[in-house]
Structure 1
Amino acid sequence: FHHIAYEVDNLNESLNKIAEQDIRLIDKEGRKGAEGLNIGFLHPKSTKGVLTELCENPNKK
């Protein structure tokens, strides 16, 4: 597999909480991804080699 993805309710809040735990981020803020999702990646050097994506659906309430 290339990467694993998790859906979160608030992407930027999640990225900030992860950064506070000294986990390296590829994206410090969310950006537009496929299918209109907001996405952000954690650096694989901080996640035992696994490229990890966080996704937020801005249309989900």
Structure 2
Amino acid sequence: MKKVDHIGIAVKSVEEALPFYTETLGLSLLQIEEVQSQKVKVAFIDGGNIKLELLEPLDEVSPVAAFLSKRGEGIHHVAFGVNGIQERIEELKDKGVNMINEQPKPGAGGAQVAFMHPKSAHGVLYELCDKNNIKGE
């Protein structure tokens, strides 16, 4: 793991939540995009030394929709920046970690992502985020 890349925060609506981060807290919006593979709309916010990722479900079957119905708005996951995501997945599996994604999937900003199962990580949903093929990363 290179670093904590971002913290994902589940919200019912990016548009409704965004003013709290940009106006109330004075943080800068970096980008908004839809990630069809994860069925979410995301907004990245510059938190200084770390990014915050607001996650809004695009439909009722999105994993984030299930999270919201079960737990409400709040911290959803912590993402670690990695190089060589498939190798990191295999290393974790070899160490007994159950992965939600055994193959990387497309994530926000062109990154490749995979999630560890929270039952293997003391109740925390961790994401591996490989931006190795993205210019400027």
Runs of 4+ aligned residues of structure 1 deviating over 4 Å after TM superposition are none
Deviation at residue 59 of structure 1 after TM alignment: 1.8
Which has the higher relative contact order, 1 or 2, with Cα contacts under 8 A spaced 6 or more apart? 1
Give 5+ residue unaligned stretches, structure 1.
none
**Partner Cα separation in structure 2 for residue 29 and residue 20 of structure 1:** 15
Deviation at residue 47 of structure 1 after TM alignment: 0.3
The equivalent position to 2:99 in structure 1, one of 12, 25, 33, is 25
**Partner Cα separation in structure 1 for residue 107 and residue 119 of structure 2:** 22
**Partner Cα separation in structure 2 for residue 38 and residue 59 of structure 1:** 10
Residue 26 of structure 2 is matched in structure 1 by: none
* Structure exhibiting the larger radius of gyration computed from Cα positions: 2
Deviation at residue 49 of structure 1 after TM alignment: 0.5
Deviations, residues 17-44 of structure 1 (Å, cap 9, x unaligned): 0000111000001110111100000000
SS in 2 for 1:2: strand
Identity of aligned residues (%): 34
- RMSD over aligned Cα atoms: 1.2
TM-score (normalizing by structure 2): 0.43
Q: Amino acid of the residue matched to residue 23 of structure 1?
A: V
Q: Number of residues paired by the alignment?
A: 61
SS in 2 for 1:3: strand
Give 5+ residue unaligned stretches, structure 2.
1-74
Residue 54 of structure 1 is matched in structure 2 by: 128
TM-score (normalizing by structure 1): 0.93
**Greater share of residues in strand:** 2
